[in-house]
A and B are shown apart, each in its own frame.
Chain A
Amino acid sequence: MTSTRKLAKEKMMVVEGSYAVAHAVKVCRPNVISAYPITPQTHIVEDLSQFMADGEIPNCEYINVESEFSALSALVGASAAGARTYSATTSQGLELMHEVLFNVSGMRLPIVMTVANRAVSAPINIWNDQQDSISQRDTGWIQMHAEDPQEAADMVAQSFRIAEDRDVLLPVMPCMDAFVLSHVYEPMVLLEQDLVDEYLPPFEPEFVLDPKNPRTFGAFADPSTYTEFRYLQAKAMDKALEKVEEAANEFNEVFGRYYGGLIDEYEEEDAEIVIVAMGSIIGTVKDVIDKLRSKGEKVGLLKVRSFRPFPIEAVRKALKDARVIVVLDKNISMGLNEGALCTEIKACLYNTDIDAPVIGFMIGHGGRDVPPSTINHIIDQARDVMSSGITVESQFTDVREELI
């Protein structure tokens, strides 16, 4: 199934992406929101605090913490006490949370935290890339990437559903590209309270901090049990694979919008060149593909929606007939000198019958714009690979040679 949207124009209004996300949080009925300002996530938490100031979020406390470290730490306590919890952050803020991220997933607390993906210092840069969340890939959070602001908002409700599922109980990081999605105004449907109530059951955890049943959270595990804790966490991630799909499908049933589950495919079935990408670049790539298709070129798109858990089987299935696989990454693993998505794609094709060449392009670092011409240029190189094989496995795109 490919992404579908019932365009209910009478329900749509032009709002900022951050506002749509904040509204989605509101109708998910959170109990505790914590926030520390950091550009460009601020609009989300500002809108939420305005909702609080206007009395629009009942049974909710909003904590203005003194750091991102405490933003997430406060939610550890709140979530363990049985609250539905939300925060949003980006870049340096997310990196400051690094230790807490592990703690949250290890304690199996279903916190949802939007990440407005931004580059990481140094040099300091407030613009979009995905280095921040990609660098947190091993912290045990479910990590999903939205292609547009409507999906970023809808993903909040889906995230709570996935996170709080008793077979999962893992935190979720719905990611949206900074500025490109967080600061854009466009027609969107604001999630309807009645439909969200139908879609998202109340948070009723099995274990809570409760004097009537005084349990201990966060115990110390020695080598005799630590392995099993890690194993169970990994199993929960496996379980999340089907729950991500389920959350997307049921969202479609209730709201009439679908963006893919673990992945989405666009003009992919007979594609010789398949572009693999995540986030806001998807829309631009789709426009480019439409133009190329109209000229009869077999180019398609595999959108990776769930980066963690990584949808190995779905990716293999989607790529089985590709002749060249082109991976776009708004991040880089220094020393390997390729993007994380590229590495993952290659890894999941190994030990299979698929032997299509995989080439990686690192794009859009620190807000460098990715116009259609850049995508076209990348596809030109993919055509060369199809005819004469790989020369460069992974490379930067649009490097300004005159500065080097």
Chain B
Amino acid sequence: MKILPGGVCEPRSTMVNKTGGWRTYRPVFDYNKCIKCKLCELLCPDMSVLPRDDGFFEIDYDFCKGCGICANECPKDAIEMVLEEK
């Protein structure tokens, strides 16, 4: 790294910082219950609910901090928070 004048940063460069390690509980989808409403994707504060080609979603465990908002807000209880096994 070389410091640029004034400390200018490149966009979206926090992607190098894998915050998945912060997690205590991990969200796990039950695709049988999921209705693809996209609420989990919308509400995720860590942008770690990623759409799949089939319309379902998956968790980006590199970044998910395990806050549980997705599970709490899921209208179909399709997301379960499971204790991380370290």
Q: Which residues of A contact B (CB under 8 A)?
A: 106-109, 169, 206-207, 214-219, 221, 225, 228-229, 232, 236
Contact = CB atoms under 8 A, between A and B. Distances in A.
B6 A107 contact: yes
Contacts of A207: 4-6, 8
Contact of A218 (B4, B5, B7, B11): B7
A156 to B, nearest CB: 23
Contacts of B4: 207
Secondary structure at chain A's binding surface: helix, strand, loop or mixed?
Answer: loop
A219 B6 CA distance: 9
Contact of A109 (B3, B6, B10): B6
A225 B3 contact: yes
A225 B10 CA distance: 16
B7 A169 contact: no
9 contacts: A106-B7, A108-B5, A207-B5, A207-B6, A216-B9, A216-B11, A218-B6, A221-B7, A236-B5
Interface of B: 3-11
Nearest to B1: A225
Contacts of A228: 3
Nearest to A232: B3
Contacts of B10: 215-216
Nearest to A213: B11
Contacts of B7: 106-107, 217-219, 221, 225, 229
Contacts of A221: 7
B9 A106 contact: no
B45 to A, nearest CB: 19
A214 B11 CA distance: 6
Nearest to A221: B7
Nearest to A216: B9
Contacts of B5: 108, 169, 206-207, 232, 236
Cβ-closest 4 pairs across A and B: A108-B6, A216-B9, A108-B5, A107-B6
B8 A217 contact: yes
A243 B15 CA distance: 40
Contacts of A108: 5-6
A215 B8 contact: yes
Nearest to A170: B5
B6 A106 contact: yes
A27 B7 CA distance: 31
Contact of B11 (A106, A109, A215, A232): A215
A232 B3 CA distance: 9
A62 to B, nearest CB: 25
A393 to B, nearest CB: 41
Given A207-B4, A218-B6, A219-B8, 11 more contacts: A106-B6, A107-B7, A108-B6, A109-B6, A207-B6, A217-B7, A219-B9, A225-B3, A228-B3, A232-B3, A236-B5
A109 B10 CA distance: 18
Contacts of A109: 6
A218 B3 CA distance: 13
A216 B7 CA distance: 8
A232 B8 CA distance: 14
Contacts of A107: 6-7
Nearest to B6: A108
A215 B10 CA distance: 5
A56 B26 CA distance: 64
Contacts of A169: 5-6
A236 B5 CA distance: 10
A216 B3 contact: no
Contacts of A219: 7-9
Nearest to A107: B6
A109 B6 CA distance: 8
A218 B5 CA distance: 11
A109 B5 CA distance: 9
Nearest to B11: A214
A234 to B, nearest CB: 13
A221 B4 CA distance: 13
